[in-house]
């Protein structure tokens, strides 16, 4: 955990209190005035958007999850499923972890891309949610080749 612990000893008594200094960008999610909870879907959407912002990321989601996401999008009219496709998160009171399934553009350095995605996701989640990101696991599931979408048949819009 990347918080700094400061211990002070009260002179009036032998009580030791611990004060935690939050991680950079961290908001006080639990205070004497109440608790702020952030839903897993919110963190997943932030992580997904941050990953998609990195140049060289073609899409998120493995083949099967992308196919199911396309069907779900057609049935529901695209009600937010595309933004969390290929993203799984675990969110606690003060920490979050993310697993991303990424499809990479051909010719991009995968280690450099993974480092950029990891950095962007960590920055976005920590700054927007105030949660410490403990890990971002990236699974490169496919490689997008130039001209690949032309090979996929398009469904007719009108019959």
pLDDT tens figures, 53-72: 999 999 999 865 555 555 55
- Which is nearest to 67 in space by CA: 42, 98, 101, 44? 101
Chain centroid offset of residue 64 CA: 20
Span 37-146 CATH architecture: 2-Layer Sandwich (3.30)
Q: Would you state the pLDDT for residue 119?
A: 98
Domain-wise residue ranges, the chain: 37-146
Q: What is the pLDDT of residue 15?
A: 37
**Cα dist from 144 to 18, 99, 108, 149, whole Å:** 51, 20, 10, 9
| Residue segments in the chain with a per-residue pLDDT below the cut of 70 | 1-28, 63-81, 150-159
């Amino acid at each position: 955990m990347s918080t700094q612990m400061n211990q002070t000893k009260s002179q009036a008594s032998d009580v030791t209190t611990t004060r935690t200094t939050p991680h950079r960008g961290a908001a006080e999610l639990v205070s004497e005035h109440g608790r702020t909870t952030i839903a897993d879907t919110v963190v997943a959407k932030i992580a997904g958007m941050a990953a998609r912002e990195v140049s060289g990321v073609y899409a998120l989601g493995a083949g099967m999850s992308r196919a199911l996401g396309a069907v779900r999008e057609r049935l529901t009219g695209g009600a937010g499923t595309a933004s969390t496709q290929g993203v799984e998160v675990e969110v606690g009171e003060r920490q979050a972890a993310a697993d991303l399934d990424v499809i990479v553009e051909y010719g991009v350095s995968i280690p450099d891309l993974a480092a950029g995605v990891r950095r962007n996701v960590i920055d976005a989640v920590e700054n927007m949610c105030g949660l410490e990101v403990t890990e971002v696991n990236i699974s490169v599931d496919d490689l997008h080749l130039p001209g690949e979408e032309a090979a996929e048949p398009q469904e007719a819009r009108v019959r």
